[in-house]
Amino acid sequence: MTIRHVVSWKLGATDETERAAHAAGIKLRLESLPAVIPQIRFLQVGVNVVPANDFDVVLISDFDSVDDIETYQQHPAHLEVAAFIRSVVASRSSVDFEV
């Protein structure tokens, strides 16, 4: 069984340049995680290209189990990335489902 973990964020900045920098920072940080967190089986980060959409950045990642997601979420590298993300986002949405 594979569990797909999908998270979307709405950035807090209203300035377009600042929003782009924050989105790039989120993408760069998240994409560094598979090298240090072995539970991540797949990870993709997308930055929105359609301004009318509700969210600005999306994470799609796969894990072997819910336990592996919990391990990932408590990993020090993830906690560091999550702290940065919390500092630049206004809202978040997530869903985990079997693939």
Residue pLDDT, tens place only, 66-87: 999 999 999 999 999 999 999 9
pLDDT of 51 reads: 84
Q: What is the mean pLDDT of residues 8-29?
A: 97
For residue 1, what is the DSSP state?
-
Domains along the chain? 3-98 (3.30.70.100)
Q: What is the mean pLDDT of residues 45-60?
A: 95
Over its C-alpha atoms, the chain yields an Rg (Å, rounded) of 13
**Sheet architecture: strand order including 3-11:** 42-47, 57-63, 3-11, 89-98
pTM to 2 decimal places = 0.95
Q: Inform me whether the pLDDT recorded for 52 exceeds 90.
A: no
Contacts of 79 (CB under 8 A, 6+ apart): none
* Residue that the structure tokens 């709405």 belong to: 10
